[in-house]
Amino acid sequence: MGTVFGPDVPIFLQIADMIESAIMSGALAEGDQAPSTTEISVRYKINPATALKGITKLADDGVLYKKRGLGMFVAGGARKKILEKRQSLFYEKYIQPLMLEAKKLELSYEQLCEMLRRGYKP
Amino acid sequence: MSQIEVRNLTKKYGAVTALNDVSMTIGENRIYGLLGRNGAGKSTLLNLITNRIFPTSGEVLIDGEPVLENDRALGKVYCMSEQPLYSDSMTVRNVLGWTSEFYPDMDTEYALVLADRFKLNIRKRLKALSTGYSSIYKIIVALSCNAPVLLLDEPVLGLDANFRDLFYRELIARYSERPSTIVVSTHLIEEAADVIEHVFIIKDGRVILDDTTQNVLEAGCTVTGPAALVDAYTAGYKVLGSDILGGIKSAYLLGTVDASAAPAGVEVSRMKLQSLFIHLTNA
């Protein structure tokens, strides 16, 4: 209750993001039925209109599609789509704040590279 | 499926004006939050809508009909409030029976399912119920009566965290299955914030805010950083309040600032509904 969602991003986008994460992790496979608006709104105690907005966004993005009378399903190629989107957002979302913090802490470029090397285990 | 129109409603008790020229539209099948501090006029408004008290001036229309002594219009509304509607020697089972007389669409079977979920013994008399269970039996009646309009005045009064959680889940499940117009008045704003679609804030008998929750949340922000920088950056904005700790100041303001133009060390973040409420109604 008011603890699951942060205030900085609209809740419907956070809902969409959670479902995308479930698809990325494989918890929701392509072809699987996505949770319904009611299930989402009851589970997270949010207005059903908000849940619907999140689902509609995923449908607009081609991540989910509607089977008439059955509900929403994960589209073929959804995982790849999400992967590409998240990769393109990676710089903005992670690298930029990383750089800001590194500068604040007076870390050199070489020190940063060393940390990246240390942390990167393929 | 019902809509409420409140027009220029004023209620005076002697020299005290409890409600001052309030107008609002409560649209069909949405969930509204009616927020206000103690004594702001929330209960007065709900009592006027349900014709429990009479206005000094102004009127309330339900689906276009004035509510004044109008049983047909009032039959569309169920108002749950702290004041008991029934004699306290009645049992919960009696209350369910009587409610189904007034609300013919009442789903008694569902009421019994809810009683089970909330662990309420329906053979108990109202006077034997704790504060929490007094709220619970009213919640059960409200959720199962199937009135097109539900007014819930502090529905979670005395409920423990588990039952508050259960209440919101049941409310949403019921609303999803059978949409109705719902007004929730509560002081536990954080718990209701994600459920309500539209917010009314009442202060000193007047509506000071009437907008969608999303717009309300986008209308305010918190600016945090070294006090001098924050002061310079927020100059010209409507600052509702501020906190300062160890040279770091948080200013709470109305309006949208350009976060990307914030000087280094200054952060802009969104406010939660409850903090916005506190700062709006403190002044």
Q: Is the dihedral of CA A51, A54, A60, A64 positive or negative?
A: negative
**Partner-chain contact A47 B193, CB within 8 Å:** no
Q: How far is CA B160 from CA A10, B116, B153, B191, B195, in A?
A: 28, 17, 17, 13, 19
Fold of B219-282: Alpha-Beta Plaits (3.30.70)
Tell me the DSSP string of A40-60: HHHHHT--HHHHHHHHHHHHH
**Partner-chain contact A8 B270, CB within 8 Å:** yes
| Per-domain residue ranges of chain A | 11-78
Q: Is the pLDDT of residue A117 over 80?
A: yes
Interface ipTM > 0.95? no
Please tell me which residue of chain B has the smallest CA distance to A39. B173
**pTM of the full structure:** 0.89
Q: How does pLDDT run across A16-53, given as a tens digit for each residue?
A: 999 999 999 999 999 999 999 999 999 999 999 999 99
- Closest-CA distance, A25 to chain B, in angstroms, reads 27
For the segment B102-127, the average pLDDT, to the nearest whole number, is 96
Q: Six-digit token pair at B255?
A: 């309006």
Give the model's confidence band at A1: pLDDT under 50 very low, under 70 low, under 90 confident, else very high.
very low
A97 close contact with B: CB closer than 8 A? no
- The pLDDT assigned to B1 comes to 58
**Partner-chain contact A47 B194, CB within 8 Å:** yes
Sheet holding B238-245: strands in order across?
A: B238-245, B248-254, B220-226, B267-270
- Closest-CA distance, A4 to chain B, in angstroms, reads 10
- The pLDDT assigned to B261 comes to 81
CA distance B9 to B5: 10
- Closest-CA distance, B172 to chain A, in angstroms, reads 6
Report chain B's mean pLDDT, rounded to a whole number.
93
At B190, the amino acid letter reads E
Please tell me which residue of chain A has the smallest CA distance to B161. A1
Q: How does pLDDT run across B127-170, given as a tens digit for each residue?
A: 999 999 999 999 999 999 999 999 999 999 999 999 999 999 99
CA distance B254 to B215: 12
A105 close contact with B: CB closer than 8 A? no
Give residue A97's Cα distance to chain centre. Answer: 18
Q: How does pLDDT run across B16-50, given as a tens digit for each residue?
A: 999 999 999 999 999 999 999 999 999 999 999 99
How many beta-carbon pairs below 8 A join chains A and B?
A: 59
| Per-domain residue ranges of chain B | 4-213, 219-282
Q: Which residues of B touch A10 (CB under 8 A)?
A: 214, 217
Weakest-pLDDT range from A86-100, B152-166, B217-231, B258-272: B258-272
Query: What is the second-level CATH architecture of the domain B4-213?
Result: 3-Layer(aba) Sandwich (3.40)
Which distant-in-sequence residues (6+ apart) come within 8 Å of A29 by Cβ? A23, A74
Please tell me which residue of chain A has the smallest CA distance to B273. A7
Q: Which residues of A touch B31 (CB under 8 A)?
A: 47
% of chain B with per-residue pLDDT over 90: 84
Q: Which residues of A touch B193 (CB under 8 A)?
A: 2
Is the model more confident about B144 or about B263? Answer: B144
Class of domain A11-78: mainly alpha
Q: Is the pLDDT of residue A2 over 70?
A: no
